[in-house]
């Protein structure tokens, strides 16, 4: 209120009558409390995407239809006519064959087929954290049963809980336990006594050519 009064005095001294009128109106609004009620709405309009973060820590959502499943942890979502590449958060699925120098891993096709069965063609709302250096959206993929497709893939033994770089990419604390359950049941990748983690495969086999 003091600021408004100072503006009114300055406008009167300078004979800026249009400013005088504006300040008088603002003072009247402030006196009646209308200005205070408008302030939260104005602040809400100025919010950044990060300020809408949900309880899972996601910073934005993407809603659309799944139009392609590339492998066990990557797919394409059609959002308002634009294709968005999605990399599922906190998991790492077996690698499919890329080319002669980058052969695939056991269970990779089964992992892809399982993910396609879970989400292929469906309209979903994803909880996303960020984009990676490949401009893929890093997201959790909630399903109708309360679980995420991320969790389902790990539970079925068709992806690892991503503990690369000491868990730097792990956002879902439930995943390590789900992986341990899959190990105990020896399902999916755990049928092999010593399955190679995808992040180790990409380094040892693809980069070092030591498959």
The pLDDT score that the predictor gives to residue 14 is 56
**Vertex 99 angle, CA 98 and 101, to 5°:** 115
From 87, 112, 179, 202, active-site residue: 87
Is the CATH code 3.40.50.2300 the one for domain 60-207? no
Establish whether 164 is a catalytic residue. Answer: no
Residue 197 carries which DSSP code?
A: P
Give DSSP secondary structure letters for 126-140. EEEEEE-TT--EEEE
**Vertex 142 angle, CA 140 and 144, to 5°:** 170
The set of long-range contacts for 100-104, using a CB threshold of 8 Å and a minimum separation of 24, is 101/206, 101/209, 102/205, 102/206, 103/205, 103/211
Mean per-residue pLDDT pooled into runs of 10, the chain (211 residues): 52 52 50 42 32 61 98 98 98 95 95 98 98 97 97 98 88 97 97 92 92 86
The pLDDT score that the predictor gives to residue 211 is 86
What number of other Cβ atoms are within 10 A of residue 26's Cβ? Answer: 17
Establish whether 41 is a catalytic residue. Answer: no
From 7, 136, 171, 183, active-site residue: 136
């Amino acid at each position: 209120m003091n600021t408004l009064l100072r503006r009114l005095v300055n406008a009167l001294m300078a004979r800026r009558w249009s400013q005088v009128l504006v300040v008088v109106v603002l003072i009247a609004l402030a006196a009646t409390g209308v200005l205070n009620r408008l302030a939260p709405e104005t602040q809400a309009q100025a919010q950044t995407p990060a300020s809408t973060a949900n309880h899972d820590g996601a910073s934005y959502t993407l809603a659309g239809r799944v139009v392609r499943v590339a492998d066990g942890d990557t797919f394409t979502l059609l959002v308002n006519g634009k294709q968005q590449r999605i990399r599922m958060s906190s998991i790492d699925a077996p690698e499919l064959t890329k080319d002669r120098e980058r052969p695939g891993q056991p269970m990779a096709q089964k992992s892809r087929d399982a993910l396609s069965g879970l989400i292929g063609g469906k309209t979903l709302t994803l909880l996303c954290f960020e984009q990676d250096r490949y401009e893929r959206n890093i997201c959790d993929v909630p399903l109708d049963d309360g679980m995420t497709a991320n969790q389902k893939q790990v539970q079925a033994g068709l992806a690892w809980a991503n503990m690369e770089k000491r868990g730097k990419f792990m956002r879902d604390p439930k995943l390590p336990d789900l992986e341990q359950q899959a190990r105990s049941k020896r399902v999916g990748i755990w049928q092999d006594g010593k399955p190679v983690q995808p992040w180790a495969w990409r380094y040892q086999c693809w980069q070092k050519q030591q498959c």
